[in-house]
Amino acid sequence: MKVDGKDMRPIWFDLTSKTVQVIDQRALPHKLIIKNLNTVDDTIYAIKEMVVRGAPLIGATGAFGVYISLVQKDNKGADNEYLVSECKRLKNARPTAMNLFWGVDRVLSAALQHEPYEKRVKAALDEALAITEEEAINCRKIGEYGMPIIEGISRKKNGEPVNILTHCNAGWLACIEYGTATAPIYTAFDNNINVHVWVDETRPLNQGSRLTAWELGKYGVNHTIITDNAGGHIMQHGMVDLVIVGTDRTTRAGDAANKIGTYLKALAAKDNDIPFYVALPSSTFDWDITDGIADIPIEERDPDEIRYVQGLFNGKIEKMLVPPLDSNAANHAFDVTPARLITGFITEKGVCRANQQDIMSLFPDKKK
Ligand code: MRU
């Protein structure tokens, strides 16, 4: 996607320096900082501390991490045990997004097919690059399949703006290109459909107000930031036509984990008869589980993320304490929206309802 006229992705392989580079999303929207990932420790730090974040991007970063483990200083060449243990460390960086395990395992198995070290390195890099290209294409397809949903509402409203609410950042920064939840929005915008996006600020780390607002603004999409608690009110007053969110892990039966607060939006949407869609590439499905509430691990992050807010002050990015320092805080990072509250999934294979049978009809090779 373009940032001030320049094509950018949140992760790429720089051919000149032969390094994996990422945008440091912690500094956005105020500073555009690029970081190199030279070691597995750098990669784990980037995922844990959310230099990179968002399920498909975490998957791509983990995928490059396998390559990095093979070329970092002190690497142990084609030693299988070493490679598998570095992959284990990568997979432990964050627990909820399915894409991390999927990305790491895919590159690991490509690498293990080759014994000679050089071949192994090449196979790992090729597979990581293939993953990024595939995810970019998948997101473009999500945009193409999701766009008619917005177009239909636009037609019913005689071209009046379609008001879409989204939570967190499920845009190109969270993916490789286009995003998941934002892909249908960008495609609709490109097709001259009048859209307006309600952007949940998404406390505590404000992925909505920092990242989604930045992305949409750069693309020229009309948007308004709201507090996380405003959704119910604006839905009751007819100001939301459609909700589209991303997901970090979705079960084969259609329960979807996403950024904390998504479930409340789904409840409010149901109460107000507003369609609630979840957009995802197939890499985010966990094909082994059906009960999201019981089986999706929910990350608990540092309570200081709740205690402190970050922003620009006198030209510098600063953090400020909000509550009494000695008050307890609990930082549950995700919640699970049960399938019954989801109108449908928008995937690279098409749109389906949120139940096992319909999901399997799009992905027949995953039938048990
Ligand atoms: O904690 P984050 O910022 O990694 O959480 C990201 C989200 O919850 C996104 O909505 C999700 O990954 C879908 S991204 C396409």
- The answer, yes or no, to whether any atom of ligand 1 lies below 6 A from the CB of 246, is yes
Q: Which two tokens stand for residue 325?
A: 């320092």
- The answer, yes or no, to whether any atom of ligand 1 lies below 6 A from the CB of 211, is no
- The answer, yes or no, to whether any atom of ligand 1 lies below 6 A from the CB of 204, is no
Give the number of the atom of ligand 1 that is nearest the alpha carbon of residue 299: 1
- The answer, yes or no, to whether any atom of ligand 1 lies below 6 A from the CB of 259, is yes
Please, which residues have CB within 8 angstroms of residue 208's CB and are 6 or more apart in sequence? Answer: 166, 167, 168, 169, 199, 200, 201, 202, 225
Give the residue-averaged pLDDT of 301-323: 97
Residue 368 binned pLDDT confidence (cut-offs 50, 70, 90): confident
Q: What is the pLDDT, as a whole number, of residue 220?
A: 96
Dihedral Cα 45, 46, 51, 54, nearest 10 deg: -120
Q: What is the pLDDT, as a whole number, of residue 145?
A: 98
Q: Compute, in angstroms, the gap from residue 144 CA to the centroid of ligand 1.
A: 21
| Amino acid occupying residue 111 | A
SS3 state of residue 73: coil
Q: What is the pLDDT, as a whole number, of residue 268?
A: 98
- Of the candidates 140, 148, 44, 127, which has an alpha carbon nearest to the alpha carbon of residue 92? 44
**Rounded CA gap, 232 and 65, in Å?**
40
What are 161-200's pLDDT values in tens digits?
999 999 999 999 999 999 999 999 999 999 999 999 999 9
Q: What is the pLDDT, as a whole number, of residue 267?
A: 98
Q: What is the pLDDT, as a whole number, of residue 341?
A: 99
Q: Compute, in angstroms, the gap from residue 260 CA to the centroid of ligand 1.
A: 10
Q: Is pLDDT larger for residue 77 or for residue 329?
A: 329
Burial of 242 (0-12, 13-18, 19+ CB in 10 A): buried
- Of the candidates 281, 277, 263, which has an alpha carbon nearest to the alpha carbon of residue 343? 277
Cβ contact 187:145 at 8 Å: no
- The answer, yes or no, to whether any atom of ligand 1 lies below 6 A from the CB of 183, is no
CA Rg value for the chain: 20
Give the residue-averaged pLDDT of 232-251: 98
Q: What is the pLDDT, as a whole number, of residue 362?
A: 98
- The answer, yes or no, to whether any atom of ligand 1 lies below 6 A from the CB of 99, is no
Please, which residues have CB within 8 angstroms of residue 178's CB and are 6 or more apart in sequence? Answer: 1, 136, 139, 140, 142, 143, 171, 172, 186, 187
**Rounded CA gap, 274 and 282, in Å?**
25
DSSP result, 76-100: -TT-HHHHHHHHHHHHTS-SS-HHH
Cβ contact 226:201 at 8 Å: yes
Q: What is the pLDDT, as a whole number, of residue 1?
A: 85
Q: Whole-model pTM?
A: 0.97
Q: What is the pLDDT, as a whole number, of residue 4?
A: 85
Give me the percent of the chain exceeding a pLDDT of 90: 96
Residue environment code for 68-94, b if the CB has 16+ CB neighbours within 10 A, otherwise e: bbbbbeebeebeeeebeebbeebbebb
- The answer, yes or no, to whether any atom of ligand 1 lies below 6 A from the CB of 96, is no
Is the pLDDT at 307 greater than 90, yes or no?
A: yes
Q: What is the pLDDT, as a whole number, of residue 2?
A: 83
Q: What is the pLDDT, as a whole number, of residue 60?
A: 98
Give me the percent of the chain exceeding a pLDDT of 70: 100
Residue 5 binned pLDDT confidence (cut-offs 50, 70, 90): confident
Give the number of the atom of ligand 1 that is nearest the alpha carbon of residue 97: 12
Give the residue-averaged pLDDT of 279-283: 98
Give the residue-averaged pLDDT of 243-261: 98
Q: Compute, in angstroms, the gap from residue 249 CA to the centroid of ligand 1.
A: 10
Give the number of the atom of ligand 1 that is nearest the alpha carbon of residue 168: 10
Give the number of the atom of ligand 1 that is nearest the alpha carbon of residue 171: 15
Q: Which of 53, 177, 300 to mutate to test the pocket of ligand 1 (most atoms within 8 A of CB)?
A: 53
Give the number of the atom of ligand 1 that is nearest the alpha carbon of residue 245: 10
Q: Which of 165, 247, 250, 346 to mutate to test the pocket of ligand 1 (most atoms within 8 A of CB)?
A: 247
Cβ contact 37:12 at 8 Å: no
- Class in CATH terms, 2-134: mainly alpha
Give the residue-averaged pLDDT of 92-118: 97
- Provide the residue ranges of all domains of the chain, joining segments of one domain with +: 2-134, 143-366
Is the pLDDT at 239 greater than 90, yes or no?
A: yes
Q: Is pLDDT larger for residue 1 or for residue 334?
A: 334
Write down the mean pLDDT value for the chain: 97
Task: Tell me the sheet residues that pair with 145.
Answer: none
Domains 2-134 and 143-366 share a fold: no
DSSP result, 204-226: TTTIIIIIIHHHHHHHT--EEEE
The residue whose C-alpha atom lies closest to atom 15 belonging to ligand 1 is: 170
Is the pLDDT at 77 greater than 90, yes or no?
A: no
| Amino acid occupying residue 119 | K
- CATH number, domain 143-366, options 3.40.50.11540, 1.10.260.40, 3.40.50.10470, 3.20.20.140: 3.40.50.10470
Give the residue-averaged pLDDT of 56-64: 98
Residue 357 binned pLDDT confidence (cut-offs 50, 70, 90): very high
Cβ contact 285:55 at 8 Å: no
